[in-house]
């Protein structure tokens, strides 16, 4: 019976502590994106799609922050920034960056 084993809860909480940044950063991104769409009088469909896309973009940025050697607490900033900017702005910035690096 798993509920009687105290080491299960210790292991679960330890695992949750290691993946916390990968969970709360996309959650923050989704929440900010949804509120931004609601504030801009967007529809329910736009709200759901924008929130999901921002959450997934943030989820893909968390390993990049680790690769750059930044602390895990920067994931919160990244999630907030992605949610605030939105996917259209991020795509615009990515296109500009790639054009600068690769050229036309």
Instruction: Determine how many CB atoms are found less than 10 A away from the CB of residue 71.
Output: 9
Task: Kindly state the tokens that stand for 87.
Answer: 């996917």
Residue closest to 21 by CA, chosen among 81, 73, 83, 77: 73
Residue 80: which H helix or E strand, with range?
A: helix 74-85
Instruction: Please tell me the predicted confidence (pLDDT) of residue 16.
Output: 87
Tell whether pTM > 0.95. Answer: no
Helix 6-18 and helix 20-39: axis angle, to 10°? 60
Q: Are 54 and 86 in contact (CB under 8 A)?
A: yes
Task: Kindly state the tokens that stand for 69.
Answer: 């050697």
Instruction: Please tell me the predicted confidence (pLDDT) of residue 27.
Output: 93
Q: How far apart are CA 29 and CA 22, in angstroms?
A: 11
Per-residue pLDDT of the chain (104 residues; tens, 9 = 90+): 556 777 888 888 888 888 887 788 999 999 999 999 999 999 999 999 999 999 999 999 888 998 999 988 898 999 999 999 999 999 999 999 999 988 76
Instruction: Please tell me the predicted confidence (pLDDT) of residue 18.
Output: 84
Q: How far apart are CA 78 and CA 19, in angstroms?
A: 16
Instruction: Please tell me the predicted confidence (pLDDT) of residue 9.
Output: 82
**How is the chain split into domains, by residue range?**
2-102
């Amino acid at each position: 019976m798993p509920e009687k084993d105290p080491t299960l809860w210790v292991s679960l909480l330890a695992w949750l502590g290691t993946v916390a940044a990968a969970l709360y950063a996309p959650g923050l991104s989704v929440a900010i994106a949804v509120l931004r769409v609601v504030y801009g009088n967007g529809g329910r469909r736009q709200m759901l799609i924008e929130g999901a896309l921002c959450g997934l973009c943030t989820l893909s940025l968390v390993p990049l922050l680790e690769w750059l050697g930044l602390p895990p607490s920067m994931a919160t900033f990244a999630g907030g920034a992605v949610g605030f900017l939105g996917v259209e702005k991020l795509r615009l910035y990515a296109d500009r960056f790639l054009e600068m690096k690769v050229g036309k």
